[in-house]
Structure 1
């Protein structure tokens, strides 16, 4: 469960990771050490990423952590968020427990959540999202306007 909030005047997109429940056990102990990695995407390219703290030994983590991205109003239509719940491992690779996507190019619930956020600016909109298994997709970039997500510095 997470909330989305967009402040068009400030160009600030806030995603608040609230909690997860019934995650898949990834460790031999029957639990996981989950954290959430949020990637700001544009046309299949990752522009920025941020992550939450790791919650140890739980399948029902509670985060209540806000992640903020600067996105200009003229770019909000082109971007999406890829949310990956990861299992932290001290040895070896961190494993993907599952992912979900929100944005105009997302599937039904992800697109609805995004539309609701844009319809109610400055108001956090929270929803539960199911996690799906991660499939790496490669997509060719068709020159868009995602290169300038931050306003250029003024002289």
Structure 2
């Protein structure tokens, strides 16, 4: 390869890398690293599993035994790389997904793995278990191989034997998410200019005073809530701020103020404050609900973003803040289920 060709190749690679990084930073939303394909293969085969509620641990256990006669994503070689994923619906994002390991080059994978949820029985009775089977593609789209659903409100939990169910295609979206997430009382203010001791003016600050939450969803016997904040599109560790964790309460009083500096007045129409409420569990932190304070335009610094989706109540509080600089504005806002813009640091 000539020197000029090598230079051109490096230029192309560097520009592609820069474009990917910029797009990711501006998007600021939770994305699956590889997209999913629901129509790549025709669904066939079955799944073998059992479910059990362990009262002593207050845990819901799903024992995934095996799958049989799955569709072949690679029909020439007659194989797939399957794994099983579980959700509790309608609140898919609430307790999150669980996954088995990937079994390579087989249409009859044996898993023998337990997927665990720490959840109280009363809440579990309001959910539907969804077990879906996927082909894992390292460099492309994960392919949907089929799913089954179990309505837990009618399930006999004394039945712990194996279940053999035929996989079915996904024809319609699963149940609509629940809106009963509780509420948050908070106040915010924007200080356009901060005077330092040297007499110099800097850019402004946003102050977020998280006062309390009420009626949080009791997804376990007891919950230990805390609040996490980002000012999007920045989802770095530096942007993340958190309240302390309060134990065993659905009505936590935080009285915690978070301060973000380096904010210009022009940024107020481009940025968005995301506040999410989490339950700190020994297994994982579970998202209880959240809100986003911003203009709700769907755009940020010229890019289309899914997190600029503030509700009318959230927009109204943000606009009151912009209209009255240096003054606190307060509201009680309903929490809603949303995809947190950053789940890596809980």
The TM-score range, normalised by the shorter chain, is 0.7 to 0.9
Gaps of 5+ in 2: 1-47, 182-215, 225-246, 249-346
Gaps of 5+ in 1: 106-110
1:34-89 deviation per Cα after TM superposition (whole angstroms, max 9, x unaligned): 00011122x36442101000000000000000111011122121012111100011
CA drift at 1:102: 1.0
Instruction: Give SS of 1:75's match.
Output: helix
- Cα distance change, pair 50–23 in 1 and its aligned pair in 2 (3 A): same
| 8 A contact 1:2–1:17 mirrored in 2 | yes
| 8 A contact 2:91–2:178 mirrored in 1 | no
- Cα distance change, pair 60–139 in 1 and its aligned pair in 2 (3 A): closer
Runs of 4+ aligned structure 1 residues displaced above 3 Å come to: 138-147
Residues in 2 aligned to 1:135 and 1:4: alpha-carbon distance in whole angstroms: 25
1:115-151 deviation per Cα after TM superposition (whole angstroms, max 9, x unaligned): 23x2x1xx73311111001234165445457933132
2:61 to 14, 18, 24: 14
| Counterpart residue number, 2:114 | 66
1:95 correspondence with 2:147? no
Residues in 2 aligned to 1:93 and 1:135: alpha-carbon distance in whole angstroms: 19
Q: Which has the higher helix share?
A: 2
| Counterpart residue number, 1:38 | 86
Q: What TM-score does the superposition give when structure 1 sets the normalisation length?
A: 0.80
- Cα distance change, pair 33–149 in 1 and its aligned pair in 2 (3 A): same
| 8 A contact 1:44–1:138 mirrored in 2 | no
| Counterpart residue number, 2:218 | 148
| Counterpart residue number, 1:108 | none
Give me the CA root mean square deviation: 2.3
1:128 to 148, 152, 164: 164
Residues in 1 aligned to 2:174 and 2:109: alpha-carbon distance in whole angstroms: 31
Kindly indicate whether structure 1 or structure 2 has the higher relative contact order, using CA contacts under 8 Å at least 6 residues apart.
1
Q: What TM-score does the superposition give when structure 2 sets the normalisation length?
A: 0.38
| Counterpart residue number, 2:267 | none
